[in-house]
Amino acid sequence: MNFSILYRGPLSSCNYSCDYCPFAKTKNTRAELEDDKKKLRRFVNWTKENAQHHFGILFTPWGEALIRKYYQEAITELSHSENIRKVAIQTNLSCPTGWMKHCNPDKLALWTTFHPTQISRADFVKKCRQLFESGVRFSVGTVGFTDALPEIEKLREELPPEIYVWVNANKKTADYYSEENINRLLAVDPLFSWNLHAHQSLGESCRAGESVFSVDGDGNMTRCHFIKTRIGNIYDPSWEKALRRQACTNATCGCHIGYVHLDKLNLQPVYGDGLLERIPVDMGK
Ligand code: SF4
Ligand code: SF4
């Protein structure tokens, strides 16, 4: 079978301090990092032991994981595994990038986010250009705060046109965007309207829980990051039995990593092989 897994271990710390984020400048203890490393190792081993299946993996850490060598090593290793079709990670791109040259470029992908309050646009764009020239596949995105609009537009202008720039809508404030601002953000991200509103999902058919699922550091499976009911554990020999087609039980789904699996939106053909790293088929290298 072909599965997509969203993995989130116990790591919860970040080297950046975005003011809207609970992980801003949080730290893990040495013991917590050791625990996270051990659990990540177990997960990587599990993917190898389950060689009868093919996996696409997106790491969605609480905080920044790529500054940790053990994540760099795990991703490098996974990118060379035969039964891994894609290994991707959400990152602020503050990590060194030299290790990426040891990865299989056909399988590595990055979901990078630009945080204008934490790094200058010039430095971020420079790093993206280096990554682009080295052949790494990645998307770039940011939160569409209206006070950052000029910065977002300049980011789009300064990146090579082949790099997809996504914008996450600020959905916390009702009627946050004027029509003019929506149009400006659509000019940056032609797919912005998909993210602008949470999608009605109650009772709707969703691949999360069937071919896509979330896993925590202890192997606990949930159908997605947004429905917390445990459905099984990957370290049980019969873990596949936890997976079946079922309707969504949440009222709405507003995050790209969730709603892209909602059947009614039919977004699979839009993103194709770039679904996990958020690169539409008509963009990216
Ligand atoms: S980079 Fe991401 S995880 Fe870190 S503080 Fe900013 S929003 Fe939070
Ligand atoms: S629609 Fe969203 S919340 Fe519902 S099951 Fe799918 S991913 Fe989860």
Which atom of ligand 1 is nearest the CA belonging to 14?
4
Residue 132 lies in a domain: yes
Distance 252 CA to ligand 2 centre (A): 8
Number of domains in the chain: 1
Query: What strands, in cross-sheet order, belong to the sheet with 212-216?
Result: 165-168, 137-143, 108-113, 84-91, 54-59, 2-8, 212-216, 220-222, 230-233
Residue 285 has pLDDT above 70, yes or no: no
pLDDT-based confidence at residue 162 (cuts at 50, 70, 90): very high
CB-ligand 1 contact for 92 (6 Å cutoff): yes
- Give residue 198's pLDDT: 96
When pLDDT is averaged across residues 152-171 and rounded to a whole number, the result is: 97
In three-state secondary structure terms, 136 is coil
User: 282 in a domain, yes or no?
Assistant: no
pLDDT at position 137 = 96
Three-class DSSP category at 185: helix
In a domain, 262, yes or no: yes
Please determine, for residue 226, whether its predicted confidence score (pLDDT) is greater than 70. yes
Residue 14 CB–ligand 1 contact under 6 Å: yes
Look at residue 161 in the predicted model and tell me its pLDDT.
95
Summarised one tens digit per residue, pLDDT across range 92-129 is: 999 999 999 999 999 999 999 999 999 999 999 999 99
Name the residue range of residue 237's domain: 2-274
Whether 285 is in a domain gets the answer no
Quick one: pLDDT at residue 196? 96
Question: Which ligand is in closest contact with the Cα of 224?
Answer: 2
Contacts of residue 97, defined as CB under 8 A and 6 or more positions apart, other chains included, come to 127, 130, 131, 134, 136
Q: Pick the range with the lowest mean pLDDT from 12-16, 49-53, 158-162, 172-176.
A: 172-176
Q: Establish whether residue 6 lines the binding site of ligand 2, counting it when its CB lies within 6 angstroms of any ligand atom.
A: no
Q: What's the pLDDT band for 187 if we cut at 50, 70, 90? A: very high
- 37 pLDDT higher than 50: yes
CA separation for the pair 115, 110 (Å, rounded): 15
- Cα of 220 vs centre of ligand 2, distance in Å, is 17
Q: Max Cα separation, the chain?
A: 54
260 lines ligand 1 (CB under 6 A): no
Which numbered atom of ligand 1 lies nearest the CA of 25? 5
Identify the CATH number of the domain in which residue 153 sits.
3.20.20.70
Q: Is the CB of residue 256 below 6 angstroms from any atom belonging to ligand 2?
A: no
Question: Confidence band (pLDDT; 50, 70, 90) for 26?
Answer: confident
Q: Is 18 in the pocket of ligand 1 (CB under 6 A)?
A: yes
Residue 25's pLDDT is what?
80
Average pLDDT over residues 221-246: 97
Q: pLDDT at residue 23 above 90?
A: no
Confirm whether 283 is domain-assigned: no
pLDDT, position 19: 87
pLDDT at 22: 85
> Is pLDDT of 79 > 90?
yes
Query: How far is 120 from 90, CA to CA, in rounded Å?
Result: 19
Ligand 1 center–CA 95 separation, angstroms: 13
Question: How far apart are alpha carbons 105 and 102 in whole angstroms?
Answer: 9
Q: Is residue 86 situated within a structural domain?
A: yes
On whether residue 279 sits in a domain, the answer given is no
* Residue 78 reports pLDDT greater than 50: yes
Would residue 280 count as lying in a domain?
no
- Which residue's C-alpha comes closest to atom 2 of ligand 1? 63
Inform me whether the pLDDT recorded for 9 exceeds 50.
Answer: yes
Nearest protein CA to atom 8 of ligand 2, as residue: 224
Task: Please tell me the distance between residue 157's alpha carbon and the centre of ligand 1 in angstroms.
Answer: 24
